[in-house]
Amino acid sequence: MFGNRFCAGVAVAVLAGQVVTAASVSAYAVAVPGGQSLAPADPLGSVLEELLLAQYSSSMSSEPSGPSYDVDRQERDPKLSASYDLDERVTRGVIWIIQNGSNECRNSIRPEYRFDCLRNVLGRAASTIENRPNYRDAARELRSLSRKLDGIVSKYQDRSAPRAAVGQRTYRAVSTANLEQARREASEAIDESVTKLLRSAGNSEKRKTHYSQIATAVGSTKRLLRS
């Protein structure tokens, strides 16, 4: 019994040390056109996201290899196991990634860069549940929305503008002349994804509960594009 308590204490101490270390790291700057410095991103939030995903992975008995992604897109696959049931922790984790990522996009970079930032956030959220059969419909809609945003950015990209950097991720800018049109198209894409998420839950009340929470988080990202 003493041995188990000692091991648990060590684990808590290590986790606490990771969080404290992250909090002490200097905030990184965001590169924007003209050398202007924007509000620093929150390094603690990134570390907590990593710890959250690591907790999911360590709690599973098997970790099959998931899909690989273009490194330039900065999408991660945490390789979660193929669990068949819906899980409140996983749903909350997906919502957290969307909400925390949206806040980082809003606080760290200018409006013209936020479309590409949101595209990345949704791709990361999709990657956490693609290996889970009961979440695959939700993952498909998140991935589809991410790709639609990628298309919008590509169509209206300001190729003369430098990329904005937040940590190790970089984002493309939409031209200011097409900003309103990009907002309208992105807003329509978000609304469509919310509708599809709700419909894909089917007749299962349990799926409806989990999918509606994810749909609500996705719908809230429209505020990011309007701000």
Task: Tell me the average confidence (pLDDT) per consecutive run of 10 residues in the chain, 227 residues long.
Answer: 46 42 38 40 46 45 34 42 72 96 95 97 95 93 98 97 94 97 97 96 91 97 89
Q: How far is it, in rounded angstroms, from Cα 20 to Cα 163?
A: 30
| Helix, strand, coil % over all residues of the chain, rounded to 5 | 65, 5, 30
Which tokens go with 38? 């924007």
**168 HSE (CA, 13 A, CB side):** 8
Helix or strand or coil: residue 170?
strand
- 215's CB contacts (< 8 A; 6+ apart) are 193, 194, 197, 198
Q: How far is it, in rounded angstroms, from Cα 102 to Cα 82?
A: 27
Q: How far is it, in rounded angstroms, from Cα 178 to Cα 225?
A: 13
**Cross-strand partners of 165:** 170
Q: How far is it, in rounded angstroms, from Cα 8 to Cα 161?
A: 50
C-beta of residue 70 within 8 angstroms of C-beta of residue 202 = no
The confidence score (pLDDT) of residue 77 equals 41
pLDDT (tens digit per residue) in 68-90 = 334 334 444 444 444 557 889 99
Task: Give the predicted TM-score (pTM) of the model.
Answer: 0.66
